[in-house]
Amino acid sequence: MARDIFAGFDYSDHMTFLRIYNAFIKLPTHGQSNFCMTNYISLSAMRMIIGIRQQLFMELQKLRLLPASCRSADDPDLNRYSNSWPMIQAAIVAGSYPNIGFTRSGGQIRKIRTSNEVASLPYGCAVKRQASSTGMNGMGVGKMGKPEPVIEYLAFQELSKSGDNLSLRTVTAVPPLTVLLFAGPIHLKREVLNDYSIGDEFALNDDADTDSNTDECVFALEPWLVFRWKFEDMQLMLKLRVKLMTHFIFMMKQPDRLETEETKVFFSIHSFIYY
């Protein structure tokens, strides 16, 4: 398929479409038409996407959610972390929620559970095509010389129904930690903050019950979206989540505020913990 050229190895339809868009806008008008014909892409749809992107940028400006100095959607300050795959995954999860799917243990992606339905991936999905291309051999390595991926969570744009079958549209495979940190409401419930001793200081509670700190605990972001970790690890991750969301709200209120060295270090650590 033509889209395989743009899919890369990210297990992401979102990135596939972004690469198509970036390749399209770099071309002159006559080149754009040829590009769409060659790759079986709708020219009118691509032009509509360009218009919607510009409209969204203008709305963000009107709402003063962008720095006053920003004059273009291609401003470098708006794309400061565009080369950080963990940050991109975080944005996809936050923007897609509650459209998060998960697989059973073992990372099998034939059946994907969502909030209240079981769905599958369509053939054209980059995640399915790339996972299938690994085609395990006797040594546990795929046809492309890569280990078989273990996919646990998927962020998707929408559910599509064909007959009795449901399928996910525009899908990206994401790590469990990304879902824990960026899915769900901005504010955690008060009882969660109390249960995990999360306060404004974002520090571990040294006076907490030592037995509970070593026990495995269960945290339900939603009734259908549940995480199981050791108490101390969960506490640390939820404190990181609170700090991330606090920073997000702060920047929405003051988009002109310059990024501090502390913030740069904070985001570099955030990116590092995924690897």
* Distance from C-alpha of 34 to C-alpha of 43, rounded to nearest angstrom: 9
Q: 66-70, 77-81, 214-218 — which one is most confidently predicted on average?
A: 66-70
**What pLDDT is recorded for position 61?**
92
Paired residues of 216 in beta bridges: 230
* Distance from C-alpha of 43 to C-alpha of 35, rounded to nearest angstrom: 9
**What pLDDT is recorded for position 115?**
85
More confident residue, 172 or 275: 172
More confident residue, 221 or 262: 221
**What pLDDT is recorded for position 214?**
57
Flag whether pLDDT at 271 surpasses 80. Answer: no
Structure tokens at 23: 């390749």
Distances from the Cα of 209 to the Cα of 171, 215, 242, angstroms: 41, 10, 22
Q: What does pLDDT average to over the chain?
A: 83
150 in a domain, yes or no? no
User: How many percent of the chain have pLDDT more than 90?
Assistant: 44
Closest by CA position to 219, among listed 206, 207, 230:
230
24 in a domain, yes or no? yes
**What pLDDT is recorded for position 211?**
46
45 in a domain, yes or no? yes
pLDDT digits (tens, 9 = 90+) for 208-225: 443 445 588 999 988 889
91 in a domain, yes or no? no
**What pLDDT is recorded for position 262?**
76
Average pLDDT over residues 92-100: 95
Helix (H, G, I), strand (E, B) or coil at 226: strand
137 in a domain, yes or no? no
User: Which residue, of 68, 87, 121, is where some domain finishes?
Assistant: 68
Helical H runs in 29-155? 29-39, 43-62, 85-96, 126-133
Peptide bond into 98 cis (omega under 30): yes
Flag whether pLDDT at 13 surpasses 70. Answer: yes
Neighbours of 226 (CB within 10 A): 11
User: Which residue, of 68, 84, 99, is where some domain finishes?
Assistant: 68
Lowest average pLDDT, out of 92-96, 172-176, 264-268, goes to 264-268
Paired residues of 162 in beta bridges: 165
179: left (phi over 0), alpha (psi -120 to 50) or beta: alpha
pLDDT digits (tens, 9 = 90+) for 242-254: 989 998 898 888 8
Reported as type and span, the H/E element at residue 222 is strand 216-222
pLDDT digits (tens, 9 = 90+) for 128-178: 888 877 654 334 444 455 666 788 999 999 999 888 889 999 999 999 999
**What pLDDT is recorded for position 208?**
42
41 in a domain, yes or no? yes
Average pLDDT over residues 179-198: 91
* Distance from C-alpha of 17 to C-alpha of 171, rounded to nearest angstrom: 11
* Distance from C-alpha of 103 to C-alpha of 231, rounded to nearest angstrom: 24
pTM: 0.84
124 in a domain, yes or no? no
86 in a domain, yes or no? no
**What pLDDT is recorded for position 69?**
85
Tell me if 188 sits within 8 A of 242, measured CB to CB: yes
**Residue-number span of the structural domain to which 257 is assigned:** 185-201+214-266
Domain count, the chain: 2
Tell me if 126 sits within 8 A of 13, measured CB to CB: yes
User: Which residue, of 49, 68, 87, is where some domain finishes?
Assistant: 68
Going by the DSSP 8-state scheme, the letter that residue 111 receives in this structure is: S
**Across the chain, which distance is largest between two alpha carbons, in Å?**
69
Closest by CA position to 238, among listed 214, 203, 275:
203
**What pLDDT is recorded for position 201?**
47
Neighbours of 269 (CB within 10 A): 10
pLDDT digits (tens, 9 = 90+) for 224-242: 899 999 999 999 999 999 9
* Distance from C-alpha of 95 to C-alpha of 89, rounded to nearest angstrom: 10
Q: How confident is the model at residue 106 (pLDDT cuts 50, 70, 90)?
A: low
Name 131's Cβ contacts closer than 8 Å, sequence gap at least 6.
Answer: 11, 109, 148, 149, 151
**What pLDDT is recorded for position 230?**
93
